[in-house]
Structure formats: structure tokens, C-alpha cells
Amino acid sequence: MVRAADPVRNPHREGQRWVLNTVRAILANPRYTGRQVWNRQRTDHDLVDPANTTLGHHDVMRWNTPTDWIISARPAHPALVSEVDFITVQNLRTRRETTSGHTYLLTGLLCCGICGRRMESHWTHHRPGYRCRHGHTSATRPDPGRALNAYLREDHVLPHLAALHLRLTSRLGRPGSASVSRDAVQPTPAQAIAHLRSEEITLAYDPAARTLTADTPQAERITIS
């Protein structure tokens, strides 16, 4: 596991068991096939305000498409996933994204604060959302003591990601630290999501308190209105 292999760089991961997010991240990363991979991300220099060029530019990290990746011709380290399995998973993901026609920006980033399971994408009322049924499926008999399903709309989360991003990338909210200036450039939801994915940070959703808590040592938290 990531935690067990490198506990110093992954202090926020418990390292006691495999979780769905860990497996998903492994199956989505070609480096686990044993090959070295470069150019998965790039830095774009976007205008802070296209209507006012005097404000200058800011750096935005974006993911490149797999066609832009540079992969070593020979294995560089022991493989955790075979290349056959990796390609099979990518084909399944592509087929699912193509047939659904729906876009979920936060897929894989949310887990349930009640049971710890990864929240599944759920299209409802013509908009993207996420839910957790706490392990229940239509093929199993429901447990009378099971908690109620947790639901979270994507459009309720996106407006709050800028505040979370600032807390994750600054000293805001930590003892003895200075707060972020009100004049600081607010990151976009896309920037915040890219940071969460690059740092492999997941957010635990508490449906009772309506909060999202990052799985980091500081456990940065935001409230969803």
C-alpha cells in the first residue's frame, strides 16, 4: 500500500487496509504497470481576468490527455498491475463515460463520512450528484439498522472549493499562521479539483453536519450550504 511503502510522504493514510479510492487510483495510473510516465500534467499561464490584462497571469495545473503522455519503452520498477489489466480498465472507463453522456467533476474524490465507502456518481433531476447506500445493493436484503442513504449535489460543492483550496495550499487556519488576504486571487473549481487529484486527497462527507473534511493531517473542513 502507498502508506506502507512510503509512510513519511503519506502521513495522512492509515496503511491498514485497501480502500476503493486506493484501488481506483492504482488502476488509473500507468506508473503502476512498472513503466515511468512523464507529461501527465502541464502548467498553463491563464489571464487572471481576460477583461483586464493588467492583472497579469496565474499558473493553472491541468491534466494532459493520455495521447500526450510520455511512457518509458522499458519497465523502470516492479509492476503492481499488469499492462493487460490496466488497458482493460481504461477501456471500461472510456466505454462508461461515452455511453452515460454525463460528466461528474468530483468522481473518486468523495467518500461517505458515515461508512467510509467511496460515494458513487448519481445523475438525478438532470444534474450530477453523488450518493452512498452504505454497501446496500438491489441484490441484497436491506438492513433495518442501516443508515439512510447519503446524497450530495455537485452544484452544492463547487462554490465552496475555492475556500478549501486556499486552506490546503496556504497556512490558513493553522496555529500561529497568517490568514489569506481578501485580495488573493480566488482559484477556480477546476484548479481546486486538479489539486485534490494531484495530491490524492479525498473528502469525507458528513450528511448531518453538511461538511466535507479532507483526509490530510490538518483535516481541513468546509461547510456545504
Distance CA 81, CA 86 (A): 7
Rounded CA separation 50/113 (Å):
39
pLDDT category of residue 152 using cuts at 50, 70 and 90 = very high
Tens of pLDDT, residues 53-84: 788 888 888 877 766 778 887 888 888 888 78
Q: What is the DSSP letter of 50?
A: T
Global confidence as pTM: 0.51
- Average pLDDT, stretch 212-218? 92
In this predicted structure, what is the pLDDT of residue 5? 56
Q: Does the pLDDT of residue 122 top 70, yes or no?
A: yes
**Most distant CA pair in the chain, distance:** 62
Q: DSSP letters of the chain? A: -HHHH-TTT-TT---SS--HHHHHHHHH-GGGGT--EE-SEEEEEEES-TT-GGG-EEEEEEEPPGGG-EE-SS--S--SS-HHHHHHHHHHHHHHHHHH----TTTTTEEETTT-PBPEEEEETTEEEEEE-TT--TTSPPPTTPPPPEEEEHHHHGGGHHHHHHHHHS-TTSTTPPPPPTTSPPPPHHHHHHHHHHTT--EEEETTTTEEEESSTT--EEE--
What's the confidence (pLDDT) of residue 186?
A: 75
